[in-house]
Amino acid sequence: SINKENSYILKMKGFDKTMSDLGTFDGFEIYHEGKKILDYLSYGHLFDVRYITEEKCRDYFIKVTLSNESFALFFGGWLFGGDETPEMVVVVVSGDKAKVVFDDYAYAYKYTPGEHFSIEYVDDINGLRAIGSPGFTDSYLKKRTKYKIWREGNMLKYKSWK
């Protein structure tokens, strides 16, 4: 709920009864004042947001307020294996409109919650989770394209660099 006039319902959905036991889901629906404004099916299983928050949060989504009338929801994917980067889905909601603005691979190495929200991530974690791996080192990051999504004013901004 943004305010008394703008309330939303998020329904997470899964097509397999065991999914709720694992905490995964296949997609979600967003409703505004009883009307469905988005029905989305991800390409992989969604999970909690631990892999896009440096394991700081285990909620099913992150809400980033953009204005009095709009917000973004960030959903994180499930880490299937050691080298398969999980999915991240970003939805922007404004009034009775909702749109998926991002759906791709993402594993965060830097996360700032709240007013100064930002996520820095890579889309390839090959070798990162191997036994004995030191994790996100400067040499590991130097070999990959890095991405950043951050809140600036009432907008989300995005950039990438090598």
- Where residue 71 falls (left for φ over 0; alpha for ψ -120 to 50; beta otherwise) is beta
Report which of 148, 158, 157, 67 is spatially closest to residue 108, judged by C-alpha positions.
148
- The Cβ-side half-sphere exposure at 70, using a 13 Å CA radius, reads 15
pTM metric for this prediction: 0.93
Distance CA 145, CA 85 (A): 14
CB atoms within 10 A of CB 107: 22
**Percent share of the chain, pLDDT over 90:** 73
Q: Cα 143 from chain centroid?
A: 23
Q: Looking at residue 136, what is its pLDDT? A: 93
Mean pLDDT to the nearest integer, 106-111: 97
What pLDDT digit, counting tens, does each position of 13-49 carry? 887 765 566 778 999 999 999 999 999 999 988 999 9
Angle value at C-alpha 65, between 11 and 3, nearest 5 degrees = 70
Q: Which two tokens stand for residue 12?
A: 């997470």
Confidence label for 54 from pLDDT (cuts 50, 70 and 90): very high
Confidence label for 87 from pLDDT (cuts 50, 70 and 90): very high
